[in-house]
A and B are shown apart, each in its own frame.
Chain A
Amino acid sequence: MATRIVVIGGGAAGIGAAGAARATDPDAEVRVFTEFEDVGYSPCGIPYVHGREIDSFERLFLADKETYEQAGIDIAYETRVSDIDLGSRTVTVEGTGPVPFDRLVIATGFNYEPLDVPGSELGGLYHVKNIRQAMEWDRIIEEARSAVVVEATPLGMEMVTALAHRGLEVHLVDPNPWLLADAADPDIMQPVEESLIEMGVKLHLRTKLQEFVGDRTVQAVRTSDGEIPADIAVVCTHKRPSNKLAADAGLKIGSTGGVIVNAHMATSVEGVFAAGDCVELPHEVTQVPVVSLTGSHAYAQGKVAGTSAAGGDRRYNPVYVPWGMVAGKWMIGGASTGETLATALGMPFMMGVAEGISRARYYPGVMKVKVKLLFDPASRHLIGAQMVGGEGIKERADFLGMAIKKRVTVDDLASMENVYSPPIGALNEPIALAAQNCLARLEG
């Protein structure tokens, strides 16, 4: 009899799991349940359609529904799983009843942290998540003249940039003293802040959200900085693991709220796996669990969970979290930890900072690249990095993530070789300059 594998969730982790399960065991019966109308698209691309960098939402889809059918993956759309019964090994599907499974993959994703302010139930509050809703919201944005974006999270930064590109009067409200303050350092974000102001964005930093004001639909946002009239408000609060189904079923939940898993993405119950934004994973440098990583993390975890569920052997590694994004007119990025997070944790570190350039100094289009590196004082290993620049940030973030993993030292980086070619690389690599700066600081 074929192994019955049920996947709850049709996001990157769920679809990755379903595909990997079929690839591992072609005879397996793989069923995916998703609450939404679609699967297999990139929600991370939504802000860029709103910003008109991408011309249509259709481009975000990786495959059509027939492709999944042909791949032998049975997907139930707009279908909610309300319960997991680990005793009878069934999930309860609303409108259908119990559906048995031999192996289960939970990929229920995330919810936005709720806002505890009056008016949170009003219309006109946009939570960026589902592509069909994004299509509707795109038409609303077309008619809107002003928008308030709530919180300068990564999504908040992307939406502010997108809405500014669309020509709306954009306000950003955040309680912190600088943008993206929970992830990035103030000196890294300073150029981004200046560029957003140049783009006409009104920044309300160190500002408390107090109320969404309106009759049925939001008309203004009341803050500690005064009332801001708004046609729409985009809620970009932090992502929290959607763990209710897993917790109700009795699976162990970690201190982050994410489902506890091991390297095979196996949960505390045999035959039950979990992946994506609903799980927590160890951060290799600090060795503490973290949640809310990227789509590429979710997809890779899904692959591991699906392979494991189908009887294969695949492992997921602790994370170093290389990251990067466009914010305002700049690219920002990094790996592992920045100065702010290391300071919060009280990790010992030594630091080097340098400002270099992305191409030969005389080559058209040359841009600044600022690199900040953190090293462990005892081992001299690289433990974190942050950057801001005009180009080449993503590639440096990937490289630095791997450098942290391979325990590259400040001495290695200070003497690293680099590509020199006028259109693509400068004589001096900014990463090497930052490491040399760290050594110079050590020498006093």
Chain B
Amino acid sequence: MNRFFGWLRGNAERHLLIAAQKDMASRYLQREGPVIRQRFFWRRVFVPLYRLLPWRLRHRIMSAMPGSHRQWYRGSGPPRRS
């Protein structure tokens, strides 16, 4: 199970970061994005779908993954909102 969550987080983090870097490079530097090969699913399906979700839901999904954060926080909502 941990291997699955490792795979999920590793891919999600990498492809979301690449998408953000592409946006930022275009906006600030007028350059193209990173030259890193991306699988169709992550680039064309996962990233757009993730971006459609509200932050509250995204954060709930991230929080549901096993990890040290669950030793500190239990059942918390989105961060820093009072």
Nearest-neighbour CB distance to chain A for B33, whole angstroms, equals 6
Question: Contact partner of B24 among A185, A207, A287, CB < 8 A?
Answer: A185
A119 sits at the interface (CB 8 A): no
Given A287-B79, A345-B16, A346-B58, are A254 and B63 also a contact pair (CB < 8 Å)?
no
Closest to B63 in A: A287
Name A's interface SS: loop
> Chain A 305-349, CB within 8 Å of chain B: the 1/0 string?
000000000000010000000000000000000011101111110
A282 contacts which chain B residues (CB < 8 A)?
Answer: 67-69, 71-73
Nearest-neighbour CB distance to chain A for B27, whole angstroms, equals 8
A279 contacts which chain B residues (CB < 8 A)?
Answer: 68
Query: Do B24 and A255 touch (CB < 8 A)?
Result: no
Given A176-B34, A255-B2, are A378 and B20 also a contact pair (CB < 8 Å)?
no
Query: Do A381 and B80 touch (CB < 8 A)?
Result: yes
Query: Do B8 and A255 touch (CB < 8 A)?
Result: yes
B2 contacts which chain A residues (CB < 8 A)?
Answer: 252-255
Query: Do B36 and A346 touch (CB < 8 A)?
Result: no
Given A262-B68, A339-B24, A407-B80, are A206 and B32 also a contact pair (CB < 8 Å)?
yes
Q: How far is the CA of A254 from the CA of B65 in the complex (A)?
A: 8
Nearest-neighbour CB distance to chain B for A284, whole angstroms, equals 7
Q: How far is the CA of A289 from the CA of B69 in the complex (A)?
A: 6
Between A186, A262, A348, the greatest number of chain B beta carbons within 10 A of the residue's beta carbon is seen for A186
Question: Contact partner of B67 among A254, A376, A407, CB < 8 A?
Answer: A254
Closest to B62 in A: A288
Query: Do B80 and A285 touch (CB < 8 A)?
Result: yes
Query: Do A344 and B29 touch (CB < 8 A)?
Result: no
A261 sits at the interface (CB 8 A): yes
Between B69, B81, B82, the greatest number of chain A beta carbons within 10 A of the residue's beta carbon is seen for B69
Q: Interface residues of A toward B: which range?
A: 35 or more
Q: Which residues of B from 24 to 39 have beta carbons under 8 Å from A?
A: 24-25, 28-29, 31-36
Query: Do A343 and B20 touch (CB < 8 A)?
Result: yes
Q: How far is the CA of A176 from the CA of B69 in the complex (A)?
A: 29
Q: Which residues of B from 11 to 64 have beta carbons under 8 Å from A?
A: 13, 16-17, 19-25, 28-29, 31-36, 50-51, 53, 55, 58-59, 62-63
A283 contacts which chain B residues (CB < 8 A)?
Answer: 69
Q: How far is the CA of A272 from the CA of B80 in the complex (A)?
A: 32
Query: Do A186 and B29 touch (CB < 8 A)?
Result: yes
Question: Contact partner of B17 among A190, A256, A340, CB < 8 A?
Answer: A340
Q: How far is the CA of A226 from the CA of B16 in the complex (A)?
A: 29
A181 sits at the interface (CB 8 A): yes
A187 contacts which chain B residues (CB < 8 A)?
Answer: 28
A28 contacts which chain B residues (CB < 8 A)?
Answer: none
Q: Which residues of A from 348 to 404 have beta carbons under 8 Å from B?
A: 348, 376, 378-379, 381, 383
A258 sits at the interface (CB 8 A): yes
A-B contact pairs, 14 of them (CB 8 A): A177-B25, A177-B34, A178-B31, A256-B67, A260-B68, A280-B67, A282-B69, A283-B69, A286-B62, A341-B17, A343-B20, A344-B16, A346-B55, A346-B58
Report which B residues bind A (CB closer than 8 A). Answer: 2, 5-6, 8-10, 13, 16-17, 19-25, 28-29, 31-36, 50-51, 53, 55, 58-59, 62-63, 65-69, 71-73, 76, 79-82
Given contacts A175-B35, A254-B6, 6 further A-B contacts (CB under 8 A): A176-B34, A190-B28, A208-B35, A255-B8, A279-B68, A381-B80
